């Protein structure tokens, strides 16, 4: 199980272990852990790592080339052990930027011993999921739907995810077709959308009658919403007097 700082609390970690999940969860820089040498914040613990113990690992590929970070893994004592389970293996995973030295921290647990590369792969999988959501929100409008009822939310989400899937499949084929001789980077989701708007997708109507029609439609629904709010305010005001 992987997640960001919101999911790094002790209660959720303990529940995950009760359900049989190992986890890699981001924690705050001031998160405190117990070690055989004492209790430290994860920031102070990272400062104790010898220079030779950092391992540089390739963690992905972007438009500017491969992404490399320095990683370290430190053993800690678990604070979320269920009563009927063995302690297992608890560690703090630290990722350090090569230039800025900025360090995110991850609290990890596994029932059996795992390698540093395995934990890094879990972090990379979560990054990929976040990138997919960002694409769906920023390019396909996943977070722009009117969630006034289940049907509208479901339909908008479905259409947005289908659009994101089309872009993802198209980008994969573009990456496969792009060669080093072409001197072109693979097309991003936004670049593919620009190409689709210019070549395949129909352009929206811009004539006066069309614009006036949709202006009247929007203002009519805004009037209905304002009337509904006014009536509701009157009802609540009468109930409190």
Tell whether 50 is covered by a domain. yes
State yes or no: pLDDT of 218 exceeds 70: yes
- pLDDT (average), residues 98-119: 93
**Higher-confidence position of 70 and 60:** 70
In terms of residues, how long is the chain? Answer: 241
Q: Are residues 14 and 36 in the same domain?
A: yes
The CA distance from 156 to 234, in Å, is 33
Taking each helix axis from N to C terminus, what angle separates 116-138 and 150-177, rounded to the nearest 10 degrees?
120
Q: Are 164 and 138 in contact (CB under 8 A)?
A: no
Q: Are residues 164 and 91 in the same domain?
A: no
Tell whether 123 is covered by a domain. no
**Higher-confidence position of 67 and 15:** 15
Q: Domain tally for the chain?
A: 3
pLDDT per position as a tens digit, 30-40: 999 999 889 99
The CA distance from 162 to 23, in Å, is 30
Residues spanned by the domain of 236: 204-241
- What pLDDT score does 185 carry? 72
State yes or no: pLDDT of 72 exceeds 90: yes
Tell whether 216 is covered by a domain. yes
Q: Are residues 8 and 70 in the same domain?
A: yes
* Least confident span in 34-38, 68-72, 146-150, 207-211: 146-150
């Amino acid at each position: 199980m992987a997640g960001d700082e919101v999911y790094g609390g002790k209660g959720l970690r303990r529940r995950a272990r009760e359900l049989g999940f190992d986890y890699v969860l981001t924690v705050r820089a001031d998160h405190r852990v117990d070690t055989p040498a004492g209790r430290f914040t994860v920031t102070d613990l990272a400062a104790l790592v010898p220079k030779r113990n950092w391992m540089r690992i390739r963690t992905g590929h972007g438009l500017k080339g491969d992404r490399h970070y320095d990683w370290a893994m430190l053993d800690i004592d678990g604070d979320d052990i269920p009563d009927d389970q063995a302690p297992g293996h608890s560690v703090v995973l630290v990722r350090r930027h090569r230039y800025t030295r900025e360090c995110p921290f991850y609290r990890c647990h596994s029932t059996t011993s795992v390698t540093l590369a395995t934990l890094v792969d879990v972090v990379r999988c979560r990054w990929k999921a976040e990138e997919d959501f960002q694409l769906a929100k920023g390019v396909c409008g996943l977070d722009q739907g009117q969630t006034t009822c289940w049907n509208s939310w479901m339909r908008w989400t479905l259409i947005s995810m289908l659009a994101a899937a089309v872009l993802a499949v198209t980008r994969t084929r573009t990456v496969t077709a792009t060669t080093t001789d072409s001197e072109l980077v693979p097309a991003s989701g936004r670049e593919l959308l620009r190409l689709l708007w210019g070549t395949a997708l129909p352009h929206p109507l811009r004539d006066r009658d069309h614009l006036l029609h949709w202006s009247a439609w929007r203002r009519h629904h805004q009037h209905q919403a304002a009337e509904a709010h006014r009536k509701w305010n009157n009802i609540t005001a009468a109930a409190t007097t």
